[in-house]
Amino acid sequence: MPSDRSKLTSSHWGIGIVQTSGGRITDVEGHPADPDPSLLNKNIPGGLSGRARILKPAVRSGWLDGRKGERGRDAFVEVGWDEILDLIASELTRVREEHGNEAIFGGSYGWASAGRFHHAQSQLKRFLSTNGGFVRSEGNYSYNAALVALPHFVGGSFREHVVEATRWPVIAEHSDLVVLFGGLAMRNSQICDGGASKHRMADNLKLCTERGVRFVNLSPLRTDVHASLNAEWLAPRPGSDTAVMLALARTLIEEGLHDQAFLDRYTVGANRFIGYLDGAIDGTPKSAEWAAEISGLDAGRIRTLACEMAANRTMIACAAGLQRADWGEQTLWACVSLAAMLGQIGLPGGGYTVGYAVNAHVGNVARPFRWGYLPQGCNPVSAFIPVAMISEMMLKPGATFRYNGQALTLPDCRLVWWAGGNPFHHHQDLNRLRLAFQVPETVIVNEINWTTTARHADIVLPVAAPQERTDFGGGQTDNILVPMPKAVEPPGQARVEYEIYTDLARRLGVEQEFTEGRDEEAWLRKLWSDTREAADDHGTPLPNWDAFIAGDIIELPDPSPAQVFLSEFRTDPLEYPRATPSGRIELYSETIAGFGLGECKGHATWNVARDLSSPAARTYPLALVSGQPGTRLHSQHDNGALSMEGKIGGREPVLINPADATERQISDGDIVELFNGRGRCLAGARVTSDIAQGVVFLWTGAWYDPDFEALDHRDRHGNPNVLTHDLRTSEFSQSPAAHSALVDIRPFDETPPPVEAHEPPQFCGRPVKKGPQA
């Protein structure tokens, strides 16, 4: 229990004990109940008190001057709350009356806050729904292809698959071999949407080691698997995992090691898939030699690995990052198909799981019931876009596109409101996104700091951070509830978002619909009451609100500690059918074949990545991989202490193999420039043999810092998305495809420009209104 001088908080990376002095947060320590507390709490003090903190409402000067200027470059005018809320109310009314609610985009996407009430997405969407609705996005940047595609192959939503994943203690007891496509990054196992209270992965993997489980890491980055697992490292070329999986499957057929009885009882379409493996469709057998040429792996090792997988109880793990690439849906389907060939799906310690390292809880723990939540209301607008089509929507309103078998039209959104996310972190091709952000008539952003997204807004609302308001934490897949009493007051004129929306709703005549007559405390008590009722139904009574908010964390029973994915389906596929047209696992899908997509034949298919089949392959020889860093969550608190300690010369580090570095005369610690035909950025070189030759790895989350005086508006800070394309995986799921970029890298011989990402923008007085000419 924390002392009287400190307060508990919850975040996506763990429980924290907040230390304060003089009204400011000085430190955030891990909770003693957490066996492996995250270091990311060290970013909170600097992240909330740095120079980039937004202290007053602000309006872009060019917007005030008749919507002139350029977003991202203009100065801002600081104004009072009454004035800025009047501006927003007037602008919302204008857009609705002139264009309808289909012209308003509610761009709330991201991890936002771990609190159950002060959840940015729920707050914004509830407010917009009570004002006639808005265009929304569907899916996410983390595992969107899985959200769309896996229901077709296996049935059920991917979010259900994550919760139902085979538990790691079961793997420790029953598995002989774990084959990790894309690794099992421990840095990802420190975080979870909605909160990661106890970090259990390290102990569970230690249990696997003690039981003698063998691991194979197929990833260009050796450290994608913790050194303690002593994993064999195989480094296929980025984007070639589907080819390797197909070759493993064909090897099983060639060696007579596939489980035909399983295929006959639990799957449909196996014969058509096997025909593809044999080359009946395209004349190319998917042999180990074929995959070796594509992947760079040894053909003999591919063959022996297939035999080892068949001879042992084998768990196949596919990292979510692999589906964030061109044709990423096919990697998922190939993974399922390979596991079906082995016939171990539904057995303890066998089968497959997609996304073991998506967050801290997959395979470790689950939520016993749904916590109380703020209803988002009924959105009267049905129009939506896939989440990764934000630039497309702004640049091509009215254009048609295909998505999950549908033909849809991009809406014409005149007003964009973003809260709880940072598109200039998670979206691809940032130069294109900058152009897209010039199109809307008005952009509103709620933010804590002057991120690039805030700098590209017309109206900026300074909002309170989680430690500056009262709430309670409960992760989406966690079993722990965390009291979150306010630790300090918000600085400057920053306000709690619920209060902002309430004032706006009053101006727009919908206050009662938005608030239901409740203030912040009344809503918190209502959500806690809902949580208590659910707990009573599960036989786990909870204390009243006053006792809880003044107390310590509450841990509830894990509902399924010995869970095995698809065990019921394996027991009886007729009694427990999958939610597919056949009720079985579909290795060939008539539905998907009916979509008429050239890149998908109705079964798992190999397609060459776009950059590799374009002139870029001859011009830019290095594959770029970007991933979640260990020093922060995405871009959150990039200006915090731990994040800053991990940089080189104030810039994000890029990992490069010694052979590639020597060829380019790059030394460890050098400032380097990464470039391709889409953009360029500066970074700090980290020369290491942990990255495969021919690959560079640039961590995500450095706040985008364009230098408008440099070629291609070169990013000064090391954001990889200035280099990635915005073509998406395919017309199947329209998912982000960040891991399919080719680049080159060279020493930066000029004086490196200063990084300005963590500084506030320029401020100015109001534009002078000129009268009529005499």
What phi and psi values does residue 128 have, to the nearest 5 degrees? Answer: -70, -35
CA atoms within 13 A on the CB side of 696: 32
CA distance 335 to 314: 13
**Cα distances (angstroms) measured from residue 769 to each of 78, 315, 714:** 17, 68, 35
Task: Give the pair of three-digit tokens for residue 738.
Answer: 């960040």
Quick one: DSSP state of residue 227?
G
Cα three-residue angle 721-460-112, rounded to 5 degrees = 60
- Assign 243 to helix, strand or coil: helix
State the burial class of residue 499 (Cβ atoms within 10 Å of its Cβ: 0-12, 13-18, 19+).
middle
> Of 562, 568, 604, 599, which Cα lies nearest the Cα of 586?
604
**Cα distances (angstroms) measured from residue 95 to each of 412, 436, 722:** 11, 19, 32
CA distance 449 to 637: 9
Which run of H or of E encompasses 432? helix 430-436
Catalytic residue among 13, 63, 111, 352: 111
Rg (CA), the chain: 26
Quick one: DSSP state of residue 43?
G
**143 is known as an active-site residue:** no
CA distance 507 to 515: 13
CA distance 766 to 773: 21
- How distant is the alpha carbon of residue 160 from its chain centre? 17
- How distant is the alpha carbon of residue 462 from its chain centre? 24
CB 607 within 8 A of CB 327: yes
Q: Residue 240 is which amino acid?
A: S
State the burial class of residue 429 (Cβ atoms within 10 Å of its Cβ: 0-12, 13-18, 19+).
buried
The strand pairing partners of 472, in sequence order, are: 483
Which run of H or of E encompasses 593? helix 590-593
Task: Give the pair of three-digit tokens for residue 234.
Answer: 């195989």
Catalytic residue among 13, 63, 109, 233: 109
14-21 and 24-30 strand pairing: antiparallel
Which run of H or of E encompasses 136? strand 136-138
CA distance 420 to 195: 15
CA distance 475 to 196: 6
Scan for tokens 């939540």, then name that residue. 373
The strand pairing partners of 58, in sequence order, are: 78, 460
Q: How many residues does the chain have?
A: 774
Looking at 100-223, list the stretches that DSSP marks H as alpha helix, in order from N- to C-terminal side: 120-129, 144-153, 158-163, 168-174, 201-210
**111 is known as an active-site residue:** yes
- How distant is the alpha carbon of residue 404 from its chain centre? 20
CA distance 12 to 197: 8
> Of 587, 563, 159, 578, which Cα lies nearest the Cα of 332?
587
Neighbours of 557 (CB within 10 A): 11
Q: Is 198 left (phi over 0), alpha (psi -120 to 50) or beta?
A: beta
Cα three-residue angle 615-620-623, rounded to 5 degrees = 115
CB 346 within 8 A of CB 265: no
CA distance 395 to 440: 9
Catalytic residues: 109, 111
